């Protein structure tokens, strides 16, 4: 059976003795429940009570040891979604002596990563909330290697894309429902609990309307490294295609949020860009074959929706064109725009919205979760039907939002082409393999200042420095220096940008005054280096 635990043999009696004598040991990272990941020896799980168990003994360790604050609100988030109250992790405590009265534990010998998937039926959520965070949590802890065991505790079935989770390690992932097959008490020899949130870029609107995360910590580089890993595991190779064999992909949805004139759209794109156009859909093709196609495409055109997460597989330089149904403001729903705009993703992003009401097809009679509104009060239905834009709202059941986002659309070709023409700065081109440089300057070295007093109201301040140490190994298009001069005690400063390594300031320099001077290097206008230690210069 696929749910066999391991071929690693463990000495059962030694393991049991270790659990009884050592109890559970936990050491975590993170100051708060929202940034915490914990590593455990001998964390147990009682399948009857559906609770994790921490066994106390003389040798057990619990760090952080925060008493009842462990419940305020939780020890940690079990999914990568920040502070979601259905995704909290905690454990029950027992003395190790209680093991005598409990069912015999079954030991899990593999190093295990325990987490909640957030929404395993939606491709965007699968990538953003699960696959990327799992991948990079595994990179953070070296013993979470290809032999690691993933355990999903959210309680759902496999979902439509379980094969994608299988790519992350060579062992079959376990679901919560599988655990009881192993026995009443399972003990994970070594486990990590929780997920890194470092790679997520979007918040779904649980406490404020959805939008990019406030502090994005991931760049296109890490997203692309992950995409390459998946492509490798899916046995996808991107072969160089002959010159002029560029093509556009239209990603179509088959069950809802349809494009009614898809053929017309394909034809218009083909004529405009003199390229082949192909359509893909999750209903018609395997995920791997879609990735294969997208990985060499010049342009990806699609209605807003989870399928747009496949833009992680586009080559650098490609364009993403996201279509929005009537009354939906593209600026309010930007998971794919944010992704495409991450530094180093090197994708062009354009949105188009249907502004012509007669080109929308509404479904008021559908169930509420597919955007139906007939269950609402008559007045509310009329308000929604008359509204020209969904106001900003919280996740996840706003009926006006669901009504509008599940409309079908007849794409107005002239306005679509105009938006794309205006928006594409350069012709989409997958040959743009060159990444813009990401190497920052070091500090400038040996900064010095010299001063002289010319007259009662005239003074000079000369500042000089050496190039940053790493510059001699780099080819940099443009090297500039920024100098800040602040009169001591003032709270403003004068900034200067200079191409050379020294300069004599005389304007605004007063005699018998102390100036604080900072110098840093800038590559290519935007890559800022650190400031050197402040210079204290007395005229
Ligand atoms: N989906 C699909 N075809 C469709 C509609 C949806 O393959 O016609 C997939 C979609 O890619 C996502 C899941 O079904 O993985 C849920 O779709 P939903 O419309 O709920 O979410 P959204 O796409 O708006 O994120």
CA distances in angstroms from 456 to 258, 486, 519, listed in the order given: 78, 20, 28
Q: How far is the CA of 360 from the centre of ligand 1 (A)?
A: 19
Q: How far is the CA of 412 from the centre of ligand 1 (A)?
A: 23
The SS3 call for residue 38 is strand
Return the biggest CA–CA distance within the chain. 93
Query: Over the chain, what is the mean pLDDT?
Result: 95
C-alpha 450/C-alpha 462 separation (Å) is 5
Q: Is the beta carbon of 194 within 6 A of some atom in ligand 1?
A: no
Question: With 90 as the cut, is the pLDDT of residue 255 above it?
Answer: yes
Q: Is the beta carbon of 305 within 6 A of some atom in ligand 1?
A: yes
At 8 the pLDDT is 60
Query: DSSP per residue over 346-367, as a string?
Result: --EEEEEE---GGGEE--TTS-
Q: Whose CA is nearest to atom 24 of ligand 1?
A: 305
Q: Is the beta carbon of 302 within 6 A of some atom in ligand 1?
A: no
Query: Measuring CA to CA, which residue among 45, 47, 48, 189 is closest to residue 108?
Result: 189
Q: Is the beta carbon of 255 within 6 A of some atom in ligand 1?
A: yes
Contact criterion met (CB below 8 Å) for 416 and 409: no
Render pLDDT for 190-207 as a digit per residue (tens, 0 to 9).
999 999 999 999 999 999
Q: Is the beta carbon of 307 within 6 A of some atom in ligand 1?
A: yes
Nearest atom of ligand 1 to the alpha carbon of 283: 7
125, 126, 294, 307, best to mutate for ligand 1 pocket (most atoms within 8 Å of CB) = 307
Label residue 168 by pLDDT band (50, 70, 90): very high
C-alpha 409/C-alpha 406 separation (Å) is 10
At 1 the pLDDT is 39
Render pLDDT for 56-109 as a digit per residue (tens, 0 to 9).
999 999 999 999 999 999 999 999 999 999 999 999 999 999 999 999 999 999
Q: Whose CA is nearest to atom 13 of ligand 1?
A: 122
What burial letters (b/e) apply to 501-531, b meaning 16+ CB within 10 Å?
bebebeeebebebebbbbbbbbbeeebebeb
Contact criterion met (CB below 8 Å) for 46 and 184: yes
Render pLDDT for 205-214 as a digit per residue (tens, 0 to 9).
999 999 999 9
Nearest atom of ligand 1 to the alpha carbon of 126: 15
Q: Is the beta carbon of 253 within 6 A of some atom in ligand 1?
A: yes
Q: Give me the phi and psi of 192, to 5 degrees please.
A: -115, 140
Quote the ipTM score. Answer: 0.99
At 241 the pLDDT is 74
More confident residue, 381 or 11: 381
Q: How far is the CA of 114 from the centre of ligand 1 (A)?
A: 27
At 466 the pLDDT is 98
Nearest atom of ligand 1 to the alpha carbon of 160: 15
At 4 the pLDDT is 57
Nearest atom of ligand 1 to the alpha carbon of 305: 23
Q: Whose CA is nearest to atom 12 of ligand 1?
A: 122
305, 370, 372, best to mutate for ligand 1 pocket (most atoms within 8 Å of CB) = 305
Work out the percent of the chain whose per-residue pLDDT is above 90. Answer: 93
Residues 6+ apart with CB under 8 A from 347: 220, 311, 314, 316, 317, 318, 319, 320, 340, 341
Q: Is the beta carbon of 282 within 6 A of some atom in ligand 1?
A: yes
Label residue 378 by pLDDT band (50, 70, 90): very high
Element (H or E) spanning 322, and its range? strand 319-324
At 433 the pLDDT is 55
Render pLDDT for 258-297 as a digit per residue (tens, 0 to 9).
999 999 999 999 999 999 999 999 999 999 999 999 999 9
Look up the pTM and report it: 0.94
Q: Whose CA is nearest to atom 1 of ligand 1?
A: 253
Q: Whose CA is nearest to atom 16 of ligand 1?
A: 122
Q: How far is the CA of 303 from the centre of ligand 1 (A)?
A: 11
Nearest atom of ligand 1 to the alpha carbon of 405: 24
More confident residue, 244 or 387: 387
Q: How many CB atoms lie within 10 A of CB 50?
A: 12
At 10 the pLDDT is 75
Q: Is the beta carbon of 254 within 6 A of some atom in ligand 1?
A: yes
CA 221 to chain centre: 12
Q: How far is the CA of 126 from the centre of ligand 1 (A)?
A: 12
Question: With 70 as the cut, is the pLDDT of residue 157 above it?
Answer: yes
- Identify how many contiguous H helices and E strands the chain contains and give both numbers: 12, 28
At 437 the pLDDT is 78
Question: With 70 as the cut, is the pLDDT of residue 173 above it?
Answer: yes
C-alpha 423/C-alpha 410 separation (Å) is 21
Q: Is the beta carbon of 256 within 6 A of some atom in ligand 1?
A: yes
At 6 the pLDDT is 59
Label residue 428 by pLDDT band (50, 70, 90): confident
Q: Is the beta carbon of 328 within 6 A of some atom in ligand 1?
A: no
Structure tokens at 280: 């893909």
Nearest atom of ligand 1 to the alpha carbon of 307: 11
The SS3 call for residue 84 is coil
Sole residue written with tokens 């305020």: 72
C-alpha 33/C-alpha 538 separation (Å) is 50
Nearest atom of ligand 1 to the alpha carbon of 258: 8
């Amino acid at each position: 059976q696929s749910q066999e635990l391991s071929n690693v043999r463990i000495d059962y009696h030694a393991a049991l003795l270790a659990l009884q004598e050592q109890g559970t040991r936990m050491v975590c990272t993170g100051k708060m429940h929202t940034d915490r990941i914990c590593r455990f020896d001998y964390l147990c799980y009682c399948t009857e009570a559906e609770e994790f168990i921490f066994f106390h003994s003389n040798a057990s360790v619990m760090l952080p040891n925060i008493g009842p604050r462990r419940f305020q609100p939780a020890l940690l988030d079990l999914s990568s979604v920040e502070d979601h109250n259905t995704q909290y992790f905690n454990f029950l405590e027992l003395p190790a002596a209680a093991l005598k009265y409990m069912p015999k534990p079954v030991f899990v010998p593999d190093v295990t990563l325990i987490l909640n998937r957030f929404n395993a039926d939606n491709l965007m959520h699968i990538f953003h909330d699960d696959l990327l965070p799992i991948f990079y949590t595994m990179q953070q802890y070296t013993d979470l290697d290809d032999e690691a065991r993933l355990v999903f505790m959210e309680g759902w079935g496999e979902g439509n894309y379980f094969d994608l989770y299988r790519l992350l390690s060579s062992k079959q992932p376990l679901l919560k429902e599988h655990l009881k097959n192993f026995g009443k008490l399972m003990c994970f020899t070594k486990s990590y609990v929780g997920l890194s949130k470092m790679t997520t870029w979007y918040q779904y609107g649980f406490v404020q309307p959805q939008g990019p995360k406030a502090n994005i910590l991931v760049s296109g580089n890490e997203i692309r490294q992950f995409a390459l890993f998946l492509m490798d595991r899916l046995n996808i190779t991107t072969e160089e295609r002959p010159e002029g064999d560029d093509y556009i992909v239209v990603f179509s949805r088959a069950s809802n949020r349809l494009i009614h004139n898809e053929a017309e759209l394909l034809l218009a794109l083909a004529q405009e860009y003199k390229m082949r156009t192909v359509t893909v859909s999750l209903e018609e093709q395997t995920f791997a074959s879609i990735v294969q196609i997208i990985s060499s495409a010049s342009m990806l055109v699609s209605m807003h929706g989870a399928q747009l997460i496949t833009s992680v597989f586009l080559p650098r330089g490609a364009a993403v064109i996201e279509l929005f149904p009537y009354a939906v403001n593209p600026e309010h729903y930007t998971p794919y725009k944010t992704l495409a705009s991450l530094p180093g993703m090197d994708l062009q992003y354009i949105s188009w919205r249907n502004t012509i009401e007669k080109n929308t097809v509404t479904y008021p009679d559908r169930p509420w979760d597919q955007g139906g509104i007939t269950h609402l009060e008559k007045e509310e239905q009329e308000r929604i039907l008359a509204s020209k834009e969904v106001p900003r709202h919280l996740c996840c059941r706003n009926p006006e939002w669901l009504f509008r986002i599940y409309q079908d659309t007849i794409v107005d070709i002239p306005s679509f082409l105009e938006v794309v023409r205006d928006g594409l700065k350069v012709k989409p081109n997958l040959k743009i393999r060159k990444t813009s440089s990401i190497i920052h300057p070091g500090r400038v070295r040996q900064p010095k200042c010299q001063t002289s007093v010319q007259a009662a109201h005239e003074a000079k301040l000369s500042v000089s420095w050496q190039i940053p140490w790493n510059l001699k190994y780099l080819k940099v298009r443009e090297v500039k220096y920024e100098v800040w001069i602040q009169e001591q005690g003032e709270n403003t400063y004068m900034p200067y940008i200079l191409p050379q390594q020294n300069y004599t300031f005389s304007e605004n320099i007063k005699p018998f005054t102390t100036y604080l001077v900072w110098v840093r290097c800038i590559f290519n206008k935007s890559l800022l280096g650190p400031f050197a230690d402040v210079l204290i210069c007395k005229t």
